[in-house]
A and B are shown apart, each in its own frame.
Chain A
Amino acid sequence: MLNQLTISELAAKLAKREVSAREATQSCLDQIARVDGKIHAFISHDATDALAQADAADQLLSQGGSGTSRPLLGVPVAIKDVLAVKNQPLNCGSKILGNFISPYDATVIEKLKAAGAIVFGRLNMDEFAMGSSTENSAFGITRNPWDAERIPGGSSGGSAAAVAADECLAALGSDTGGSIRQPAALCGCVGLKPTYGRVSRYGLVAFASSLDQIGTFTKDVRDAATMLGVIAGHDLRDSTSVPQPVPDYSAALTGSEPDGPSIKGLKLGLPKEYLIGGLDAEVKAAVDAAVKQFEKLGAEIVEISLPHTDYAIATYYIVATAEASANLARFDGIRYGARVDGADPIELYSKTRGAGFGAEVKRRIILGTYVLSSGYYDAYYLRAQKVRTLIRGDFLKAFEKVDAIVTPTSPTAAFKIGEKSDDPLQMYLSDIFTISCNLAGICGISVPCGFTQNPKLPIGLQLLGKPFGEETLLKIARTYEMNTLWHKQKPAV
C-alpha cells in the first residue's frame, strides 16, 4: 500500500528502485476510486496526466536522478483548488469561475514540479477559503475520514481529508485564519502554516492578502520539513515574499534518532488566556498531557499572557472581510469565469456575482464592503488595524521569553455536518486559537496529540513560533511525534 507511506519512506523505496513512481501514483488513484465516493476530498483529478508525470519521474529515476536536487521525485502531491496548476481547472470551490483553466503555474507548483513531485488533483474547500468546515463548497461537502457524519474542518478540508485517508502522500493548502491547522487537527494529520512572507503566493487566488499563506499537509513532521524546504523562498512575482535565505529544515530534524532532535532547555509558553469556556474537556486533557510530555523531554514550561486574545476574532473578521471584498471585486464576469448578461456593465457585474457566489462569500463581501464604506472606515477597519498592532505586540513580547507557544488547535474535535452551518458567528468562534497567528504574521503547526473516546476523533496540538522560526517549530513538533506516535494511527475508511 504505497499510498499509505510518508514522503521519506516512499522516496527511499524509489531511490532503491524497489517500487516505481507509476506504482505509487496508481496506488493513490486506486485509493481515490475506493474511498473518495464517500469522503469527497477531490473535486476532480486527472489520472492520465498524473500517470504521465509518474512515467516521466520513473524515466529520471532510472537515470539515477533523485535525492538532494529533486527531493520529491516520484511523490504524488495533491493541490487545494485555490492554486493555479497550468492547464488544470481552478474553481476555488465556487460556481463563479465557470470552466476556468489555469493559464500558468503558481510559484509553489513550479517548485513542486522542479522537485520532481507528481502534482495532481483539485482538492475541495470552502468557497474562496471562507469557512471552517468545507460545507461552503459549490461542489458538495467533504466528509471526515474518521467519521463520515462529521466535517473535516476547513477551509482546506479536502487537503486534510485526502492526506488522512491516504489518497495522496501530501497536499498543499492555504491558511488565512486557521484553514490549514484546524482541518489538519480535525483529520489527524500535520498542518504547517509558514510565516507570512516565507512562501510566494503568486498563483494563489487571494482571499485576505495581509493574512493568506500557503502551507502543507503531511503524514508526519519530517515530511512537513521536506515540503517547506521545496516551496519556501523569495519570489520577484510576489512583493510580499521576503528575501531571506531558506534554511535546511530537514537537516534541523536529524541527528538523534530514535527520540528526535533534542529540545532540552527550550522554553515553551502556555498562554493563560487560552483556557476558555468552550474548550472541550478531552481536548484540554490531551493538550495538558502533551505539555507534560514536553517537560519530560526537557523543555521548560512558562506561563505567558497574550492579553488581547479576546479581540482577535472581531479584528480578524473586519480585516479579512475588508480585504476579501476588494480582492473578490475581480470576479465580475468580464475577463474570465461565468457571466450573467445585463443591460449595462453594472447590471452584468451585479447579476453575475449574485448568481456565482455562495451565501458565506456574499455575507463576507457585504460585511467587508460595509466596514470600508464612507463614514465607517475609521470606526471599523482602521480601529481593527490598530488592535492588530496590539495583538502582534502580545506575541512579539511573549517571544522575548519563550521559543514557542503551545495551545490546542481547535477548541473541540470535529463537529457534525450541519451543526454550525446556520450560525456564522458560532462557526467563526471555532477559529479562536488559530486566528491570532495570521494577524501576528507568525508561523504555526498542528500535530496530532490524541483522540476523543466516543466517537474516536483526532485532537490537534498547535505550536506557534517566531517569525521565520519554522526550524525550531519543526524540531519541537518532530521530537513530540517521535515520542508519542499519535500520527501513526489511521482512520478505517
Chain B
Amino acid sequence: MAAPEIDIKYVAHLARLHLTDDEEKKLGAQLDGILGYIEKLKELDVTGVEPTAHAVPMVNVTRADEIRPSLPHDDALRNAPKQANGLFIVPKIVE
C-alpha cells in the first residue's frame, strides 16, 4: 500500500528537532518504508473496538494531598546547563 507523503521539515519543527539536509533526506526515505509497513493496520476492521491506552485497568489514581519530602533546591539545579541566583537561565523570551 502507498505510504502518505511525510513533510519532514514540518514534523521536525513540531518536534523542535533540528535536522541537517542529509538527515532529512535519509529519514524521509526510511520513514516512507516504515509508514508503508504500518499501512497494514488499515486491513483490520476496528469498528466498535475500544482503544487501549495501557494494559492495567486502573483510572484516576490519586494519593493523599500531603506535604512530603521533595528534591532539595540545590539538587534540582545541580545538573542545569546554566544557572544563577538559584534559577535556570534561559534565552530572553520577552523583548
Contacts and interface: CB of A to CB of B under 8 A. Distances in A.
Contact of A242 (B46, B50, B58): B58
Contact of A240 (B37, B54, B79, B81): B54
Given A104-B71, A242-B58, A425-B33, A390 B19 contact: no
Contacts of B40: 310-311, 314
A240 B56 contact: yes
Contacts of B31: 363, 366-367, 370
Given A210-B53, A210-B54, A334 B78 contact: no
Interface core residue of A315, A347, A367 (most chain B CB under 10 Å): A367
B23 interface: yes
Nearest to B39: A314
Nearest to B77: A335
A240 B59 CA distance: 9
A376 to B, nearest CB: 8
Contacts of A362: 17, 19, 23, 27
B46 A383 contact: yes
B81 A388 contact: no
A350 to B, nearest CB: 4
A259 B56 CA distance: 35
A98 B81 CA distance: 9
A315 B50 contact: no
Given A341-B91, A384-B41, A425-B33, A336 B79 contact: yes
Contacts of A367: 31, 34-35
Contact of B90 (A314, A348, A354, A387): A348
B85 interface: no
Nearest to A308: B44
Contacts of A336: 79-81
A276 interface: no
Interface core residue of B15, B41, B49, B51 (most chain A CB under 10 Å): B15
A441 B54 contact: yes
Interface residues of A, number: 76
A344 B90 CA distance: 9
Interface in B37-95: 37-38, 40-42, 44, 46, 49-56, 58, 61, 63, 71, 75-76, 78-82, 88, 90-93
A242 B37 contact: no
A367 B28 CA distance: 10
Interface of A: 98-101, 103-104, 196-197, 209-210, 236, 239-240, 242, 308, 310-311, 313-315, 317-318, 325, 329, 332-339, 341-351, 353-355, 357, 359, 362-363, 365-367, 369-370, 373, 379-380, 382-390, 392, 424-425, 428, 439-442, 467
A205 to B, nearest CB: 13
14 contacts: A103-B75, A197-B55, A197-B58, A314-B37, A333-B81, A334-B81, A335-B88, A353-B17, A355-B18, A362-B17, A366-B12, A366-B15, A383-B41, A386-B50
Contacts of A384: 41
Contacts of B2: none
A383 B42 CA distance: 8
B81 A373 contact: no
Top-7 shortest CB links A-B: A441-B55, A354-B18, A385-B51, A339-B81, A336-B79, A210-B54, A386-B46
Nearest to B55: A441
B31 to A, nearest CB: 6
B53 A385 contact: yes
B90 A334 contact: yes
Nearest to B71: A103
Given A337-B79, A363-B27, A385-B51, A390 B91 contact: no
A365 B17 contact: yes
B40 to A, nearest CB: 6
Contacts of A442: 55
A338 B19 contact: no
A475 B80 CA distance: 47
A401 B45 CA distance: 26
Contacts of A236: 63
A389 B52 contact: yes
A201 to B, nearest CB: 12
Interface core residue of B23, B38, B53 (most chain A CB under 10 Å): B38
Given A339-B81, A369-B15, A390-B44, 13 more contacts: A210-B55, A239-B58, A240-B61, A317-B34, A334-B90, A335-B88, A350-B16, A353-B17, A354-B17, A366-B17, A367-B31, A425-B30, A439-B55
Nearest to A380: B38
Contacts of B78: 101, 103
A467 B54 CA distance: 13
Contacts of B19: 354, 362
